[in-house]
Structure 1
Amino acid sequence: MADTPIALVTGAAHGLGLEVATQLAAAGMAVLIAARDVDAATAAADPVAGVEALPVSLDISDPHSVTQAARVVAETPGRLDVLVNNAAGYVDWSETASGADLAAAEAVMQINLFGTWRLTQALLPLLRRSPNPRVVNVSSGAGSHIDPDFGLTARHGAAATYGISKAALNALTATFAAELSDTDVLVNAVCPGLTATFPGAEQMGARPVNASARGVVWAATLPSDGPRGGFFRDGQRLGW
């Protein structure tokens, strides 16, 4: 166990996060999954070998919750090698910038940007002590200028808050990577692509979670000379 890499995946009681955790465990990691609902995370982890639930709730928009979770990880298992920031907030996909409820928009930003920022800050001391530390921020083509289907200027600017928050997350990724460029910590963002995690997704052309998770796992298992501060889908660099 002492030599087994330890990963933490947030927002992982179901869907993409749980699949990422499952694939990381299959790759030989000991994986902790975190969610706001501890019981749901525990039930999701129980059938999966190599995956356990963090024994406390993790709401990354809540500073106290993040501090408590970081303390638990620091105590048991006492180290961390991989952080996958998968937890995310959403709004109505028809939302536009001009008509947005800014209170709802702020709540999404508290998760997608500030929550990820907050948790990364809290766990960075542990990651710095790892021989192969990796941070993967699960982003989206919605935060890109070039994604033809879901980008910032696609669909007449719909899903405004989500796209803006993911563009901000990409900027955060690049900034953290620049700060940590002289360390062993590799920080990257990954767009998993449109994934079948909601009703009707398949009719929109979404792919199954196991296919989408592979790109996240790729970034979590990069070699020491791997890229830093990039935005990727399926291991291929994207513009943003």
Structure 2
Amino acid sequence: MKTALITGANKSIGFETAKVLLKNGYYVYLGSRDLQRGQQAVDTLKAEGLTAVEVLQIDVADEQSVQQAKENLSQKTQSLDVLINNAGILGSYDQKASDVSLATVREVYDTNFFGVIQVTQAFLPLVQKSDQGVIVNVTSGLGSLTLHSDPNWKHYHV
């Protein structure tokens, strides 16, 4: 059975991705910063008959949490076929360069940028042990350089 880890999978796109993978025969490690919310998501999936799933607590912006998650997963599986870096935050809004707090910028970058690197580096050895390991990085339109350079985009002037 192929295995997948999805960060930020207790809701939204990550949760729906977990459903799709489960329906396609994957065993899914549902990554969630909040263990209780992650377990609720797992319980919802299991109630729908999608049982090859378990929660893995991971806060992508916290190095200790990422290392603990790697250790926990390494005890459960020898390889990881798919790593989906999905966890992300918006931060407070508007984030005008003239007055956004540095704390907000740091929090967003720690999660959305450095978190992806940290998780990828931690789980890469497991992905490399897969016959066809894949890493997928998910982003929203706010991460699009194309949209940010389009004066007609609704957030261009923000």
TM-score (norm 2): 0.88
Asked if the contact 1:79–1:127 (Cα under 8 Å) also holds between the matched residues in 2, the reply is yes
SS at match of 1:47: helix
Partner of 1:104: 104
Shift of 1:90: 1.3
Partner of 2:53: 51
Asked if the contact 2:70–2:123 (Cα under 8 Å) also holds between the matched residues in 1, the reply is yes
Partner of 1:115: 115
Q: Distance in 2 between matches of 1:47 and 1:156?
A: 38
Q: Which of 19, 33, 38 is the equivalent residue of 1:22?
A: 19
CA 88–152 in structure 1, closer or farther in 2 if over 3 Å, else same:
farther
**CA deviation vs aligned residue, 1:154-178 (integer Å, no higher than 9, x gap):** 43442xxxxxxxxxxxxxxxxxxxx
Deviating runs (4+, > 3 A) in structure 1?
Answer: none
Q: Which moved more, 1:127-136 or 1:37-46?
A: 37-46
Q: Distance in 2 between matches of 1:75 and 1:117?
A: 22
Q: Which has the higher contact order (CA 8 A, sep 6+)?
A: 2
SS at match of 1:46: helix
Asked if the contact 1:35–1:59 (Cα under 8 Å) also holds between the matched residues in 2, the reply is yes
Partner of 1:142: 142
Partner of 2:8: 11
Report how many residues are paired.
Answer: 150
| Runs (5+) with no aligned partner, structure 2 | none
SS at match of 1:115: helix
- Identity over the aligned pairs, expressed in percent? 35
* 1:180-191 matches, cutoff 5 A: none
- Indicate the RMSD between aligned Cα atoms, in angstroms: 1.5
Partner of 1:36: 33
Q: Distance in 1 between matches of 2:99 and 2:156?
A: 13
**CA deviation vs aligned residue, 1:50-103 (integer Å, no higher than 9, x gap):** 22212xx31111111000000111111232110011110212332212221111
TM-score (norm 1): 0.59
Shift of 1:111: 0.4
SS at match of 1:132: coil
Shift of 1:152: 5.2
Q: Distance in 2 between matches of 1:113 and 1:104?
A: 13
